[in-house]
Chain A
């Protein structure tokens, strides 16, 4: 048999065994190519928006290369170890190491570059779809066209050729290092001896769980007011990261074994088949993979956390616009409002109008607000908070009696810092007089824009007579730049885009007139881009890490094959074993996934309110998606196990 035949034969065999590797390779190439195409697409200039956007995309493509090359090198490492016997055999029959390397290199070359080319083709065909997704996310009206970017093609080829060189180099080192004997032994030397759980490991295990819980606990307190200065906050964050990451490592190193040990101890030797296959095997294997699993878990958590946060921002864009802009369009002077109204009428767009005079008044809110923050963190004194006040005259549906005051403009973020009581008394402090009023509650709708409300705090409504008194008595030093608010609301929301277009063409950016839809789009534009990039990286990471876990399981199933032979000889059926394997894979994939999601959950919980107003829906969507994609690899590995079990007898 000639060398060429040898190469072809083993190529054929490998393709069957490593279809997932080939698939992952094609997929990562496709992702990378599509991403780089995006980078070079002239239609993208608007999406990138600014230099920052372009920099973000470039950074992301570097990160993408990092993830992909680590994955490919790691996967290659697994595969070359699997083939060590074959390499040993070649050496035994007198082939030189150089020749063996040549065989491997040519084989890899064919496999690698054909998948790369197919990957580029796939990437090319989906690049339009990806561009469309990005346009959709960032609310940019670009036209996605399918065009082949030669720059992207060259860049992709260069990047993957460099990775290929590294792989070849790695193979060379591997072959060089080995002697014939050690090649035959390589598999068994990585296996861990099965021993009893020592006291030391139990301590490890307990320490791991405690560290994780401690990290979670501190994270829940992070913005609760216990950490006052930036320094303390920073230290607390570092502490959380360290505690959780080290805790995760110890968890895999000891806790899993410790917990499983306790369960087994309770069974007192009487294990059923599912427990035999799941508990006892995982107990000894998770430890040797501790580092890998820790990395996978941490990056998963990072991906889930960032994705959730950017999705929260994105998701909250509209709501955010609701409480930062008072009305679909907001104006601060009569003339501009008039111009806009005329244009709306010209275009046959119906609208309603609300006009407020706004004054800033200091208020003593001590009796109606409970602060969730530490005293030190409060910049304002609760007894003299500046509050924008408007009259109930301009609101048809609200009519207050003389002694009442109503607050409007409630949102979740505010709730993190302050809780309002249901009722109570407060005082409005004018220059000369102080007016006591009865608090009537807090409503959700916001009537004023952010430059009146200090970014989004509630505003107050009082009876017109009270308002007139306050106006006479106002303190000029705390009044803002504007005192007039004209809110224009469209009757038909479907005309919003049209109206926004008119708004855009009429006013320049430097006026203080606002459009809700514009503001929401601006935010969506920014967070859409971030979400897209994080999602892209997250997906790549998910697929590569899923593949690595799958490859590990492939190895493991083959190592455990003799066990399946024994069990089948003892009279367990294939189905019995398959069920046990399912249980095992639920643990194998489920434990890192659950821990990753938990980490992500606590990370999101500790600071989501800085990003948006709605946490549950975006977070759950992200987590469910992540779990679903991840499970695919678990299911694939079960199929592989079934094949091994079938062959075992």
Chain B
């Protein structure tokens, strides 16, 4: 079953005299329970793609369906409604409210959907224990480490069981130990909760935790790799090779 389906999406900036095309007709399908990463060099349009898919930015052309609902024609108000029910976010710079405690931050999405307090408490406990931050619940964001902040951010994305979670360079600001911790937790949760995750990254190690890796280049899908039966190390090797072919300035003949 397809959770997300994008058909021929285009995105351009600027006016008609000075047009900068960033996405040039991308088709994408993501099934339930997949852990997909999008890779590409700087300026390849991967963050724009994520913003467009996650309704933060509008497409210039094309359609996006999430759980069969067409999202591209929705009004701002409906989009907000949609985001709070169907989407979860993890950002590179955590995006935690520093005036709220860890627990209050995590519970935010539930307060929008007006979940009863008891159920909210239950959900909080499960997800916080899964991510190993339950003990930190009464601390403020500036009292904890970057890795812990990012796990808090992840907990906030998971708690309301969204259809799909978007992660924008979640390991970008973390040291390698915290990064691998977080990725392990993400892939655990992906397995355990059958959660769908779409992650943008330029870190091959991070991408190797995924079940599928999509490479984009200059606004188009260049190729994709499936993990299949191979080990994480195997996938990592493949990613490196693909990046080698893809990366840098090409020698034109």
Contacts and interface: CB of A to CB of B under 8 A. Distances in A.
A58 interface: no
B220 interface: no
A16 interface: no
Contacts of B156: 570
B84 A571 contact: yes
A649 B57 CA distance: 9
A235 interface: no
A276 B98 CA distance: 11
A284 B101 CA distance: 13
Contacts of A280: 97, 99-100, 104
A195 interface: yes
Given A568-B80, A569-B56, A573-B77, A194 B99 contact: yes
B191 interface: no
Contacts of A397: none
Interface string B111-155: 110000100110010000000000001111111000000000000
A571 B76 CA distance: 10
A574 B84 CA distance: 13
Contact of A270 (B77, B98, B107): B107
Contact of A269 (B56, B81, B98, B103): B103
Contact of B124 (A269, A281, A567, A649): A269
A421 B117 CA distance: 60
A195 B140 contact: yes
Contacts of B112: 273, 570-572, 576
Contacts of B219: none
Given A195-B140, A269-B124, A570 B99 contact: no
Contacts of A568: 80
A496 interface: no
A202 to B, nearest CB: 16
Contacts of A276: 97, 100, 104, 108, 111
A266 to B, nearest CB: 12
A270 B96 CA distance: 16
Nearest to B93: A562
B195 interface: no
A365 B142 CA distance: 73
B165 to A, nearest CB: 12
8 closest Cβ contacts across the A-B interface?
A571-B84, A571-B83, A269-B103, A280-B99, A573-B80, A566-B95, A194-B140, A272-B111
A604 interface: no
Determine which residue in B89, B98, B106 has the highest number of CB atoms from chain A within 10 A of its CB, and name it.
B98
Given A273-B112, A283-B99, A569-B56, 19 more contacts: A194-B98, A194-B140, A264-B104, A269-B103, A269-B107, A269-B124, A270-B117, A270-B120, A271-B111, A276-B97, A276-B104, A571-B80, A571-B84, A571-B87, A572-B84, A573-B81, A574-B76, A576-B112, A649-B56
B243 interface: no
B109 A571 contact: yes
Contact of A569 (B83, B120, B139): B83
A194 B96 CA distance: 13
Interface in B174-211: none
B110 interface: yes
A572 B82 CA distance: 10
Contacts of A284: 99
B85 interface: yes
Contact of A194 (B89, B124, B142): B142
B56 to A, nearest CB: 6
B99 A271 contact: no
Determine which residue in A272, A281, A566 has the highest number of CB atoms from chain B within 10 A of its CB, and name it.
A566
Contacts of B104: 264, 269-271, 276, 280
Contacts of B109: 570-571
A12 interface: no
Nearest to B116: A270
Bin chain B's interface residue count. 35 or more
B123 to A, nearest CB: 11
A280 B101 CA distance: 9
A412 B80 CA distance: 61
A563 interface: yes
A139 to B, nearest CB: 55
Interface string B45-87: 0000000000010000000000000000000110011111101
A208 B156 CA distance: 37
Nearest to A563: B97
Determine which residue in A264, A271, A568, A576 has the highest number of CB atoms from chain B within 10 A of its CB, and name it.
A271
Interface in A278-333: 280-281, 283-284
21 contacts: A194-B98, A196-B138, A196-B139, A264-B104, A268-B117, A269-B107, A270-B111, A271-B107, A272-B111, A273-B111, A276-B104, A280-B99, A563-B99, A570-B112, A570-B156, A571-B87, A572-B84, A573-B76, A573-B77, A573-B80, A576-B112
Nearest to A193: B142
A191 to B, nearest CB: 10
Contacts of B120: 270
B89 A570 contact: yes
A572 B99 contact: no
A77 to B, nearest CB: 25
Contacts of A574: 76
Contacts of B140: 194-196
Contacts of B89: 569-570
B111 A571 contact: no
Contacts of A264: 104
Nearest to B82: A571
Nearest to A274: B111
A570 B140 CA distance: 19
Contacts of B98: 194
Contacts of B96: 566
A273 B121 CA distance: 17
Contacts of B80: 568, 571-573
A368 B10 CA distance: 95
A116 B62 CA distance: 56
A263 to B, nearest CB: 12
A272 B115 CA distance: 11
A416 B20 CA distance: 81
A195 B87 CA distance: 31
A192 to B, nearest CB: 11
Contact of B97 (A195, A566, A573, A576): A566
Contacts of B143: 195-196
Determine which residue in A193, A276, A284, A576 has the highest number of CB atoms from chain B within 10 A of its CB, and name it.
A276
A567 B111 CA distance: 12
Nearest to B124: A269
Contacts of B81: 571, 573
A359 B138 CA distance: 80
Nearest to B96: A566
A565 B57 CA distance: 13
Contacts of A194: 98-99, 140-142
Contacts of B108: 271, 276, 567, 570
